[in-house]
Amino acid sequence: MAYIGSKPANKPVVASDLDPTVITGQTALATSPASTDEFLISDAGVLKRLDASLIGGANTPAFEARNASAQSVNGSTTTLMQFDTEVFDTNNTYTNSSTFKFTPGVAGKYFIYASIAFDDIDNAEGTLIYLYKNGASISLGGKAMLSVNYQGSGTNVNQTWMTAIVDSDADDYFQIYGRHHDGNANNTRTEYGNIFMAYKIIT
């Protein structure tokens, strides 16, 4: 390493060793710091090294998935919903076949949104949506869940959606299950209304 001026003594760097004008005119960082970048800060007069990974954060992992083809769901049967088409998936944490699950891979709090929409179901029959964690339904008490029925494309459409903020360990996984109470099998819509998405909350 080359030095400008005299080589500093072999001792810890203290505040009096630093000249704040040394950064004047230097090239500004054009992107967000990498998690491995380090900063030198003063903590009540004590110089400390701070890793960039501890500053702020990103809303990732994050993903959004929809269904490209109609899914047939039998009446009064709680069924794993098949969101088979990824809109985006920042960290490859969503499985868009077979298990249709989101496995964050990073511990933290996550915002989750999901909606399902069926054709030919009226208000009296209704639909339900369930959030599953590690293969078991978790309570949506205190979290938003809404079911609406409306006329669309000449047929009754029943759509249900939910939002939740959940705690997750790195190896937890989440799935969406749906249920309707029509006496017959009904198909989910493909044009709109069937979405599963999540992102990490910066804490």
CA dist., res. 179 & res. 177, Å (int): 7
Reported pTM: 0.73
Instruction: With a cut of 90, say whether residue 92 has pLDDT above it.
Output: yes
Q: Which strands, in side-by-side order, build the sheet including 79-80?
A: 79-80, 174-180, 127-133, 136-137
Of 6, 28, 54, the domain-final residue: 54
CA dist., res. 27 & res. 63, Å (int): 34
What six digits make up the tokens of 162? 């939910």
The model's confidence at residue 144, banded by pLDDT at 50, 70 and 90, is very low
Give the range among 48-52, 83-87, 116-120 with minimum mean pLDDT: 48-52
Higher-confidence residue: 185 or 33? 185
Average confidence score pLDDT of the chain: 83
CA dist., res. 161 & res. 116, Å (int): 6
Q: Are residues 134 and 67 in the same domain?
A: yes
Q: Are residues 181 and 144 in the same domain?
A: yes
Q: Are residues 36 and 87 in the same domain?
A: no
Our count of domains for the chain comes to 2
Which amino acid is located at 25 in the chain?
A: G
Query: Is residue 201 helix, strand or coil?
Result: coil
Of 37, 54, 71, the domain-final residue: 54
CA dist., res. 198 & res. 13, Å (int): 44
CA dist., res. 193 & res. 198, Å (int): 16
The model's confidence at residue 75, banded by pLDDT at 50, 70 and 90, is very high
Query: 158-201, pLDDT tens digit by residue?
Result: 888 899 999 999 999 999 999 888 888 999 998 788 999 999 99
